Amino acid sequence: MIKAVQSPSLELLVKTVDGGESTIVLRGWEAVETLRGQEFDYIVMDEVASMRNFWIGWQEVLLPTFRMSRGGALFISTPKGFNHFYDLYNMNGKDWESFTATSYDNPYINPEEIEDAKESSTEDKFAQEYMADFRKQEGLVYKEFNRVFHTYKDLPEVKITEKLCGIDFGYSNPCAVLDILVDSEGNYYIDHEWYHTGKTEDEIGDYVSTRQAHKVFPDPENPSAVEVLRRKGVNVRDVIKGKGSIQTGIGIVREAFKQGRLKVNKSCVALLEELETYHYPEDKQDRNNDENPVKENDHAMDAMRYVIMTHKPPKIISPQDRLKFYANQQRRQQNSAR
């Protein structure tokens, strides 16, 4: 027997085979915050790859609901680039197991329909939607980014000259704070992230003040939050935003990736997820960066861009110029000795 329970959300009361009762609670991901403080035995999530701010909802809201029951979870989805669902699929440990099935494995789908879809889809789209294969999302903003080349686990042995912070403020949406280290060669290392919802301007200011950054680059569109930073003794630097600043900033970040001067600590999971999902609108993807990206999954993207497009790295002298400098210096010394 199934009985619907009257409530703001849909709940079903189900009689079990042993004479007991189980309650099935149905929620949309956008209402995940309403589940704080509750207890569940098992959670099933569908289309996980499309869930925004997944790690916050999972780690801060849902995972604690298992503390008493020691329950479990099932994550179901079609892949959508190398985002949080890709990381879930590759989780290791005795408590994790992954399964893959293609559309050809579904006995309720006519194979001819799949073949028709194959003819009318791009190779990447078909591989993702029908073969459950992880592919880079189409229309990526930072298509130069490569997890193998642009990430690190331990900071390389380099001479760090500056510590910077980039901030994208948020309350209902996440606030992203990135620690970015600069070495003597002008390379950037995004070494730590702070990515949370529900944080007040004072809480954000308190956290940023503990990072002891030499320079902080916050979103200028929140002047009250910027003023809180100033009151707390943070060295705030102006970030100029205006017409075309997003495209210009993206171009500067892309060039840093191309040159291998920008790398990310593997612990920055929210930033890595955004890098691999931040994209242009589908009907604009063939244009050459003359449109702004889709306004979602971009909080760490903005914090990163504020720093890279505004900060001026030290001027790097090439080995050839350094040899010329020493040769000229030696020539001047010889001439003065005559």
CATH of residue 47: 3.40.50.300
Instruction: List, in sequence order, every beta strand (DSSP E) within 159-210.
Output: 160-168, 175-183, 188-196
The span from the CA of 321 to the CA of 338, in Å, is 26
Q: For residue 286, what pLDDT band results from cuts at 50, 70 and 90?
A: very low
Asked whether residue 178 falls in the same domain as residue 288, the answer is yes
Asked whether residue 170 falls in the same domain as residue 306, the answer is yes
Q: For residue 76, what pLDDT band results from cuts at 50, 70 and 90?
A: very high
Predicted local confidence at residue 9, as pLDDT? 62
Q: For residue 6, what pLDDT band results from cuts at 50, 70 and 90?
A: very low
Asked whether residue 270 falls in the same domain as residue 159, the answer is yes
Per residue in 115-160, pLDDT (tens digit) is: 988 888 877 778 888 888 877 777 889 989 988 899 999 999 999 9
- Residue 321 forms part of a structural domain: no
% of the chain at pLDDT higher than 90: 48
| Strand ranges across the sheet with 160-168 | 151-152, 262-265, 188-196, 175-183, 160-168, 215-218
Domain count, the chain: 2
- Residue 44 forms part of a structural domain: yes
Higher pLDDT, 218 or 90: 218
Asked whether residue 158 falls in the same domain as residue 82, the answer is no
Predicted local confidence at residue 325, as pLDDT? 55
Q: What is the distance in angstroms between the CA of the first residue and the CA of the last residue of the chain?
A: 107
- Residue 39 forms part of a structural domain: yes
- Residue 117 forms part of a structural domain: no
- Residue 243 forms part of a structural domain: yes
Asked whether residue 157 falls in the same domain as residue 295, the answer is yes
- Residue 27 forms part of a structural domain: yes
Per residue in 45-59, pLDDT (tens digit) is: 999 988 888 988 998
Instruction: State the chain's mean pLDDT as an integer.
Output: 86
Q: For residue 202, what pLDDT band results from cuts at 50, 70 and 90?
A: very high
Residues spanned by the domain of 297? 152-310
- Residue 86 forms part of a structural domain: yes
The span from the CA of 174 to the CA of 231, in Å, is 23
pTM of the full predicted structure?
0.66
Q: Which long-range contacts (CB under 8 A, 24 or more apart) does 282-285 make?
A: 282/138, 282/139, 284/139, 285/138, 285/139
- Residue 173 forms part of a structural domain: yes
